[in-house]
Amino acid sequence: MAARPPRPASISTLPVVAVATSGGRDSTALLHATLRQAAGSGLQVLALHVHHGLMPQADAWLAHLAAQCQRWRSRHPHLRFDAARLSGSPSPGQSIEAWARRERYEALARMAKAHGAGLVLLAHHRRDQAETVLLQAMRGTGPAGLSAMPDLIEREGIVWARPWLQQPAQAIEDYVRRHRLRHIEDSSNHDTRFDRNRLRHQVLPALNQAFPQAEQQLQRLAEQAQAAAALIHEVAAQDLAAMGASQAGMPMQAWLCLSPVRRRFSLQAWLQHRQADVPDSLVARLLAELPRARQGRWPLGPDSELRLYRGVLQPLSLPLNRVVEAASLQLPQVVEPGEWHAPAWQGRLRLSAASEGGVPLALLAGACLAARTGGEQFQRAPRSTLRSLKKQFQAAAVPAWARQAPLLYGAGGQLLFVPGLGVDARALAAPGEPQLRPEWLAEPAEPT
């Protein structure tokens, strides 16, 4: 019996490669080149476009792309097109460009995932890379900024690739002419109020003329900076692990033992865990002030700050009601049953009415929460031996993550309560004495 010819694969089962397409010259060329490469390969090509809702012409660009993909589909039946319209706007103080970039990547990632594409191609080329390096240099950035754009990076399950990062703009122009590709012209690319446009039209031509290898050298600089940034990242991560830093706090004693340059990069890395954009001015201030400070507070963001207390630098979120602050006494002088949120430690302190096993109200007056700094002593039961907190945690098999919760200290510095162990026997109220029983309630970590 003759074998049946294999059935063509259904389009929805083919592997998908996405191309981010603005409709401009470069991404039009990349989409076209990808389609040619993919022809007969069994790959599905997905053109993705983001309508930013910022320019009056954006509707026409979207219509142009949809029509172009429709035409190209006659020769490339495995071409699909999708677009997203952004509806938001930048928040006060945020640049339109930064907002548009972030939203664009998020929209591209959403669409790629919805279509099962794990790879998104971007049409940046060598001149874009040179411009990015120079722009970063003009901002006085460090190795991370000078790294400019990676040719391949994985973020949140999507691989972003820039296959033309080594290609000169001229090669793409030639390709577009050879294939007579139609593309849109974004008039804002000539608006010299934008830094990039001034650089492109006024600086780069002169630079290329004076140094014909300028773009290649700037690309090499970006690669060197990428290696340096990766090394800094590795060393900072090792230093933070060695000093026992966590999201909740960075111990100052160990940090001060580092060389100045390692202090700087470990501090920066620790701050960036919490907040992507850490102002250089804050890092400079902390580097200058922390070595001499015993206590202190520094603004971190609109709703958070850093506190130095008992040798630990801690980030605190501010707006939640009744934030238990580490640096000053937070429980009032007259303490009543209630709950205090401590977002920096991802938990709540609850004080409940009790007739035994609690802490006397007198000791709770003006008490505060503080991070473990090492060397604390704790007594489990009235006639038991005083032992180090570390040993007590081990004996009670308190898991390592639970040992990061804050300790409750009385106004006089007396240890009152340790999450996971309970009330220190020296702070136990006598039966019938006015008292409250402390309890620590851990909250699930927020996604970062």
| Binding footprint of ligand ATP on the chain (CB under 6 A) | 20-22, 24-27, 48-50, 104, 122-124, 128, 186, 189
Nearest of 225, 91, 76, 77 to residue 148 by alpha carbon: 225
Strand 422-423 and strand 415-418: pairing? antiparallel
In the complex, the smallest distance separating the C-beta of residue 12 from ligand ATP, rounded to whole angstroms, is: 23
Residue with tokens 């754009």: 149
In the complex, the smallest distance separating the C-beta of residue 24 from ligand ATP, rounded to whole angstroms, is: 3
In the complex, the smallest distance separating the C-beta of residue 124 from ligand ATP, rounded to whole angstroms, is: 5
In the complex, the smallest distance separating the C-beta of residue 69 from ligand ATP, rounded to whole angstroms, is: 13
Distance between CA 62 and CA 48 in Å, rounded? 10
Distance between CA 266 and CA 250 in Å, rounded? 10
Strand 152-155 and strand 158-161: pairing? antiparallel
Ligand-binding site membership of 26 (annotated) = yes
Q: Which residue, 18 or 370, has its beta carbon nearer to ligand ATP?
A: 18
Ligand-binding site membership of 85 (annotated) = no
Distance between CA 93 and CA 294 in Å, rounded? 34
Ligand-binding site membership of 266 (annotated) = no
In the complex, the smallest distance separating the C-beta of residue 49 from ligand ATP, rounded to whole angstroms, is: 5
Q: Which residue, 125 or 372, has its beta carbon nearer to ligand ATP?
A: 125
Distances (CA, A) of 232 to 100, 267, 300, 350: 29, 12, 23, 41
Q: Which residue, 163 or 301, has its beta carbon nearer to ligand ATP?
A: 163
Q: Which residue, 25 or 372, has its beta carbon nearer to ligand ATP?
A: 25
Ligand-binding site membership of 23 (annotated) = yes
In one-letter notation, the amino acid at residue 97 is E
In the complex, the smallest distance separating the C-beta of residue 263 from ligand ATP, rounded to whole angstroms, is: 37
Ligand-binding site membership of 27 (annotated) = yes
Ligand-binding site membership of 311 (annotated) = no
Distance between CA 350 and CA 354 in Å, rounded? 12
The contacts of residue 34 (CB under 8 Å, 6+ apart) are 17, 19, 45, 121
Q: Which residue, 50 or 286, has its beta carbon nearer to ligand ATP?
A: 50
Q: Which residue, 72 or 298, has its beta carbon nearer to ligand ATP?
A: 72
The residue with its CB nearest to ligand ATP is: 24
Binding residues for ATP: 22-27
Binding residues: 22-27
